[in-house]
Amino acid sequence: MAERRVNVGWTEGLHARPASIFVRAASAAGVPVTIAKPGGNPVNAASMLAVLGLGAQGGEEVVLASEAEDAEAALDRLAKLVAEGLEELPETV
């Protein structure tokens, strides 16, 4: 299983607009991805309700993971998006 640990870069955390940006990017990743708080239960990163339910705040660590064999590049892009609080999914890392 591949995973990335990152701190949420959006000051407002994964709420409303940032959660929407993240969920769209996770849906477009091409591999199934989960997101969780450390020690918490992982949820589907492509589910808006699940991501909002995490209640991840700005600066808080989250864990992105995938069991897909080709998940490394997708996780790198998603980790960059979350860590830097970007407005859209970066095309390259």
Dist. CA 23–CA 77, nearest whole Å: 13
Q: Please state which of the four CATH numbers 3.30.460.10, 3.20.20.450, 3.30.1340.10, 3.30.300.30 is assigned to the domain occupying 2-84.
A: 3.30.1340.10
**Annotated catalytic residue within 15, 27, 42, 60:** 15
- What pLDDT score was predicted for residue 76? 95
- What pLDDT score was predicted for residue 34? 98
Dist. CA 52–CA 55, nearest whole Å: 6
Dist. CA 68–CA 33, nearest whole Å: 8
Residue ranges, the chain, pLDDT below 70: 89-93
Dist. CA 52–CA 92, nearest whole Å: 26
Is 3 considered catalytic here?
no
- What pLDDT score was predicted for residue 31? 96
Smallest CA-to-CA distance from 78 within 29, 44, 41 is with 29
- What residue has token string 């590049």? 73
